[in-house]
Amino acid sequence: MTQQDQMRGPAGARLSEAAREQARDQLLDPAQPVSNVIGFGSGVKWTNGQPTGESAMLVFVTSKMPEMGLSNRDVVPRAMNDGTPTDVVAIGHITAQQRGPTAPETELFVRVPETLPTDTISALDAEPQLLTGRMRPCPSGFSIGNVGITAGTLGSVVYDFQPGATVDPPAPGLGAPVRFYVLSNNHVLAASNMAPLGSAIVQPGPHDKGVDPRDRIATLSRFIPIQFAPHVPLDRHNNVVDAALGEVEFGDATREIYFSGAPRAWRRKANVAVGDKVRKTGRTTNVTFGRIISVDATIDVNYGTAGIARYHDQVITTNISAGGDSGSLVTSFDNVAVGLLFAGSSLATVVNHLENVRSLLRVEIAELLA
């Protein structure tokens, strides 16, 4: 069996509710959190840097520490009470990946460690060309941002569900969509809940010399609020997406992802599997490729001064991003949309399931993959 076969998990594989509840109570208890633990999710167990193919709960830590140096409280159990084995995976400090205001670009790129899949193509393999220019119509993948932030990435162009539509796109002939939107993250288009509806969104983002009104491409239309600690205790967070929309004129942006082409369909989260290959095009690291290592993760994300937000039902991939790539659309190699990138570290990237983004914002991106 090849390494690729061993790291694959069945589509739709999820942790049991019993294992999930135990992990929340024992590993992520805000009152007594286990040292270095920032999340958990389903995946496959690794031994000596190689995937075994055995299903396991991955326990995500900022860094691994020798067990002998830990208190009993901080030792992750070998298995959960329901028998699910565990595996500790270091993924660094996870932060929302808006372009930082001061860090030089070269500090953003770090190689993927050998303990994660090594077929990721990282930004260190070649000096990236930043997608920071002004473009009209603007392809997905380029710099964008609310006037109140630095810069992120335009993920895609989407449109409202048709009147009477429920889950799937309506049949042809039921009328044309009336509004089009640029899709990206809340922290890119809505300044982490702080921007007023109707505020200007510029392309390129302000960090890339975009100014209003000259470079206005959209206006903030709606967003899903993010719950932050300490205002809302971590154990009460219901965050599943970091997503927002800006209404755009039809001719000012395009569904075409720079280099990769338009998404041809989208995939339900039940059909997203550990080991799936993915790619994205983003403002900072342009086109990168990686693999999914977990599909139903709970993870704590640092938003700086805004606070910490705990997310549920997230996709974790190998490192395919850096600061400024927030908002990138993540797809399969054959252009089926999987999720919306919003956070990461030098070791891993965190992605919202597109199904959740689509249903909460009530927008369409492409046809459902049959």
**The CATH number, out of the four listed (2.40.10.120, 3.40.50.150, 3.40.50.10320, 3.40.1280.10), of the domain defined by the range 97-226+238-291+314-364:** 2.40.10.120
Strands 348-353 and 308-318 turn out to be antiparallel
Per-residue confidence (pLDDT) for residue 109, from 0 to 100: 28
Cα 346 to chain centroid distance, Å, stands at 14
Give dist(CA 182, CA 164) in Å, integer.
Answer: 23
Q: Are the C-beta atoms of 266 and 368 separated by less than 8 Å? A: yes
Per-residue confidence (pLDDT) for residue 173, from 0 to 100: 52
Place of tokens 């496959």: 44
β-strand partners of 183: 156, 245
Q: Which residues of the chain have pLDDT under 50?
A: 1, 102-115, 117-124, 164-167, 169-170
Per-residue confidence (pLDDT) for residue 216, from 0 to 100: 98
Per-residue confidence (pLDDT) for residue 14, from 0 to 100: 82
Per-residue confidence (pLDDT) for residue 98, from 0 to 100: 75
Q: Are the C-beta atoms of 5 and 73 separated by less than 8 Å? A: no
CA-nearest of 31, 40, 87 to 64 is 87
Domain ranges of the chain: 97-226+238-291+314-364
Tens digits of per-residue pLDDT, 184-231? 999 999 999 999 999 999 999 999 999 999 999 999 999 999 999 999
Per-residue confidence (pLDDT) for residue 82, from 0 to 100: 93
Residues 355, 359, 360: CA angle, nearest 5 degrees: 115
Q: Are the C-beta atoms of 131 and 282 separated by less than 8 Å? A: yes
β-strand partners of 76: none
3-state secondary structure 118-160: CCCECHHHCCCCCCCCCCCCEEECCEEEECCCCCEECCEEEEE
Per-residue confidence (pLDDT) for residue 101, from 0 to 100: 57
The Cβ of residue 82 has, within 10 Å, a number of other Cβ atoms equal to 14
Per-residue confidence (pLDDT) for residue 295, from 0 to 100: 95
Residues 6+ apart with CB under 8 A from 318: 112, 116, 117, 120, 290, 291, 293, 348, 349
In this prediction the pTM is: 0.89
Which amino acid is it at 199? S
β-strand partners of 277: 291
Give dist(CA 286, CA 282) in Å, integer.
Answer: 5
Alpha carbon of 45 to those of 58, 92, 221, 308, 321: distances in Å? Answer: 7, 19, 43, 28, 24
Give dist(CA 339, CA 362) in Å, integer.
Answer: 15
CA-nearest of 189, 195, 227 to 308 is 227
Tens digits of per-residue pLDDT, 81-103? 999 999 999 999 999 987 765 43
Length of the chain as a residue count = 370
